[in-house]
Structure 1
Amino acid sequence: MATPNGTTRQEIREALAPIIGVPVEQIGDDVNLVRLGLKSLHLMQLINGWRRSGIAVKFGDLAATPTVDAWALHLADRVAAAAEPR
């Protein structure tokens, strides 16, 4: 599933890898990112980047399910919601 603004699974892994110090290929879609070393400050860095690119995402939504798979689905929903006419 390709989505804009760095929200594909691969783009999420590529954004995470340098922040948590884990090689991209070791970040699985369903791996708990907290167990890989994700901290709340790291998550805020990622969220701020997505917000700057126009994606309205909340800390609690991503923290509740810290996996690449869940984040990709959530971010895709947020992108779709932003594209809907009001």
Structure 2
Amino acid sequence: MSNRQKTICLEHQCVEDQATPVGMVCPHCKHRLYTNPPQGNVMSFWESQPVAYSLKQEPCFAYSLMWENYRIRSVHLPQNDLVAEESSPMESHS
């Protein structure tokens, strides 16, 4: 299993698994970046308030890439939620 942090595009509700010059984005955002490039300089920043909480009540923060006419917002899931917990041993009932 990969140790990369999983990110979700807040606009399209898709996993960000497409590489671009500005980083990983979802397939819809990648299409937009290449077919209708945003105008102006890109700014990137973390939003100061959590946008969601994991099932373990850990805060999930949003990261934004923003141009004059386009914005990509991503939610970053806590690393702990990406690793499947070890299952308990199976017991035989025979």
TM category (shorter chain) comes to under 0.3
| Larger relative strand fraction | 2
TM-score by length of structure 1 reads 0.25
TM-score by length of structure 2 reads 0.24
| Larger relative helix fraction | 1
